[in-house]
Amino acid sequence: MRVRTLGTLATSTVVIAVLLAPGAQAAGPAGNPHGAVGDVLVMPVQDVLKALPVAPESRAGYERTKFKHWVDSDKDGCNTRAEVLLAEAFVPPEKGAKCKLYGGEWWSLYDNTYVGDPGKIDIDHMVPLAEAWNSGASGWTAGQREAYANDLSDDRSLIAVSAATNRAKADKDPTTWMPPSEAAHCAYLTDWVATKLRWGLTVDKDEANALAQIGVTCSNPPLKVTLAR
């Protein structure tokens, strides 16, 4: 394993420690400007905000079906939705035939609500599929979009939340929607920028400004992200 350092785009000279995983692929023109697949970036949240590429968005050609989900990638009988429900339950549900879940209890970060019915829980893509498309996923392969839509390798990518808040969020970015629980705002910002960094996605000007304004009231912990692109 080798270590290298990269400068941030911030005005201050913050050093990013990057660990290059064995077998990582070089980042091509459509890859992540911060490194190669498998690189681990560690940098303060505020510097991630400043380092995310700013670019106009376009939803031309978007269809939700272009992001295949939910899949059973490890062939254990449970699809991605079920895997997240099982991982995030603080009272484990019973698992029936074909991984059908019964009972259990979850805490919904967005509205600080406890939910005891898996049918009333949605699995939210932290950065919605349409927003990902707008921000660079339109140029990905079908396989890359499937990997994004079913990302179980970083627990910030997918989150179990109440169906009501997930559907209120829909495909909005932080310029037009934030969790109704103000206590969740800083965690939401952190997970949003981590997901954008992980997948090499851009932000538009309004989004960048909204994230910066929210971030003023948050702490600035180091953020560790493994690049998927």
DSSP sequence for 120-164: GEEEEESS-HHHHHHTTGGGS-HHHHHHHHT--SSTTTEEEEEHH
Is 19 a member of any domain?
no
- Residues 2, 20 contacting (CB under 8 angstroms): yes
Is 26 a member of any domain?
no
* pLDDT for the residue 67: 98
* pLDDT for the residue 29: 36
Is 147 a member of any domain?
yes
**CA angle 66–28–11, rounded 5-degree value:** 105
Give the chain's residues under pLDDT 70: 1-30
CA nearest neighbour of 86 among 153, 187, 160, 146: 160
Residue 39: Cβ-neighbour burial (10 angstroms; 0-12, 13-18, 19+): buried
List the domain range (segments joined by +) for residue 169. 54-220
Euclidean distance between CA atoms 46 and 50, whole angstroms: 7
Is 43 a member of any domain?
no
Q: What is the pTM of this model?
A: 0.86
- Residues 178, 153 contacting (CB under 8 angstroms): no
Number of domains making up the chain: 1
* pLDDT for the residue 30: 53
Is 125 a member of any domain?
yes
Is 7 a member of any domain?
no
Is 109 a member of any domain?
yes
